[in-house]
Amino acid sequence: MSISVTDVEYVARLARLELGADEKEVFAGQMNAILGYVEKLKGLDTDGVIPTSHAVPMENAFREDLVRAPIGVDKALGNAPQRSGSFFNVPQVIE
């Protein structure tokens, strides 16, 4: 199992990251070292073991369906890089 620069480019695209040529090389090397290290898990027999997603057993946390004071449009949009009126502004989505 070895990560190539092409694999790095594929994963970067999934993660919405743009990497420079040098960065791709460095990441390929480092990801290979780290993934090489985690290979040791493959040697463990985990047949029939139930995966743990949370350390504390959880059930759905329900609450009463009550109307509560919202945070308000101005506060919610206060950090928007671009807004128009009461909306977040984004580049055109559909060409």
Partner 1 sequence: MDTIDMTIHGLHQALESKQLSSVEATKAMLARIEAVEPQVGSFITVTPEQALAGAEAADRRIAAGDMDILTGVPLALKDIFLTEGIRTTCGSRILDNFIPPYSATSWEKLRDRGAVLLGKLNQDEFAMGSSNESSAFGVCRNPWDTTRIPGGSSGGSAAAIAARQATATLGTDTGGSIRQPASHCGCVGLKPTYGRVSRYGVIAYASSLDQVGPLTRDVTDCAIMLGALAGYDPKDSTSVDLAVPDYVATLPNGVKGLRIGLPREYFIAGLDADVQKAMDAAIETYRRLGAEFVDISLPHTDYAVATYYLIATAEASSNLARYEGVRFGHRSANAEGLIDMMTKSRSEGFGAEVKRRIMLGTYALSSGYYDAYYVKAQKVRTLIMNDFIKAFADVDVMLTPVAPTPAFKIGEKVNDPLQMYLSDIFTIPVNLAGTCAMSLPAGFSTDGLPIGVQLIGRPFGEEAILRAGYAFEQATEWHRASANL
Question: Footprint of partner 1 on this chain (CB under 8 A)?
Answer: 3, 7-8, 11-12, 14-19, 23, 27, 30-31, 33-35, 37-38, 40-42, 44, 46, 49-56, 58, 61, 63, 71, 75-76, 78-82, 88, 90-93
Cα(48)–Cα(50) distance, integer angstroms: 6
Closest separation in Å from C-beta 21 to partner 1? 14
48 C-beta neighbours (distance < 10 Å), count: 5
Residue 7 CB, nearest approach to partner 1 (Å): 8
